[in-house]
Structure 1
Amino acid sequence: MNTPLLILTLTLHLISGDCRAPNFGSPGNTLNVSCHYAAKYANMQKHFCKVMEDGQCSMRVSSRENISDTTQNHSRFSLTDYPQQMNFTVRLSHLRAEDTGVYLCGAQNPEPPFNRVLVGDETHIIVNPVIGHKGDEAKLRCPYEVGHQTYLKYLSRGECASTGYVLIKTELRRQARASQGRFSLQDEREGRVFSVTISNLTAEDSGKYCCGIETLDNDVLIELLLTVALASTSPSHTSGPYTSRPSLHSLPAITAEYLAGSAVVMSVLRVVVMLLFALGVAVFFRCRRTQPPQVLRVTQVPEDSSQNHADPIYQELD
């Protein structure tokens, strides 16, 4: 039985608004991000952190040490400082969908007091495409700027340049969640990322989407291309009522165990047969020794004149 897979490719790009263009990367690939700073921060330690749902900035890497990613047992983030050029570069490898978000570049005094300061502009990273399975769900993440926390968010179907059909939208400024059919919106205001989850994915979900934030001036829009491609798992070799036989590579362990057991059984049966044969022979000869043989003799009766042909009489003699 073929299991269709749904591959969703989301290509995002900034359409309008005062936001800086985000940095895009593909899952599993590498992305380089540059952070510029003033000359007075040249001798300070540098770091790169991600703004989390609770508003705290979680350290990803610093010039002092690389923070290891325990789920992969190696560091996916590395930092290289170029003091003469007054910038440092962060390299993100093996990108994942959850790497999408808002990041901050910072500096810290190498000696007490260990004051941390932000340097340069904040960085928005978006990882695409997002891959999902038919019948499952996919999450579309959209980071945004400081000050847009209470603005209305929405997701529409179609190009951002045209008026598309709004699939889901927050109706009140204080509203952080919304739900409409298969679509649900969650605004993580502390982390400054709002996401739309599409459940029960189908092939018809393919097309362009527009992720938007209503501002006092022009809306901040990000266009998303949702590409649905059907793929198949490994083909089945069954046909009709017949089933495929197991591969020979899966048999050695079972065969060895089976043969070992069969050898033991055959040895036991061989011994039992030999014992039964020997017992039968012994009983046969014992019976012949204990029972005397019976002898049959023939006695000729004299001829009678009235009888021409007389039958012999058999007598049993001891």
Structure 2
Amino acid sequence: MKIIWTFTLLMIPGVVNSISVTGYSGGGVSITCKYYSEFRENAKYFCKGQPVTCSELIKNKNKNKWVDSGRFSLFDDTRAAVFTVTIRDLSEEDSGTYQCGVDIYAKVDSYTEVNLKVITGQQIRTMTGYSEGNIIINFKYEMQQNNLLIDVCNTEALQCFTLINTERAAEWKHGSRFSVYDDRSEGFLHVFIRDLNVKDSGKYKIIVTVSEDYSFFLEFYLDIKKGEPF
């Protein structure tokens, strides 16, 4: 019996831990997968399903460089011994079990299980505003955690305008021309931008950092026109 039990243990895939992730249709998620430092030089991958038999979605053999494959991106930060997987344009069909995998030659790969739940959300693609005016973006979500970090970024300029800690619900937080109101009773995040100008036009991303394991985000294009609305 002892010999049989030892053989069974060797056949169990190397699942390190498990992450529960919530995303919203039309948006995206970024997942942080930790691994042992001894595997810095190993290839990393992301797949859907159970270990060993899961379907590979993206794999990165290049260290410290982003790799893209359709809606998926992967970056292996070998200094921190973590790799990040980003999924865009989520739909409810993306819900399920995934694996962050480390390719270990001649041995069982190391896995971090990711349980992804995608909730119906808003699919905001374009927001239109007018110079010298204001605009508000309403983002419906269902997170109840405290200490969410709200980051509003201009992705084309690679600049984040504000980093706001919504430790307290139902309270405006201000930064430069941006303000955020986390209305948890209604499940809405309101982002308010003042004193618009045509230079504000571009691609934006609202990032909500839930924990060190993951964040969810909404991407949209902000189109600022000259003059006043009719």
After TM superposition, is the score higher than 0.5?
no
Q: Give 1 or 2 for the bigger CA radius of gyration.
A: 1
Q: What band does the TM-score fall into relative to the shorter chain?
A: 0.3 to 0.5
TM-score between both structures, scaled by the size of structure 1:
0.32
TM-score between both structures, scaled by the size of structure 2:
0.43
Could you say which structure has the higher strand fraction? 2
Could you say which structure has the higher helix fraction? 1
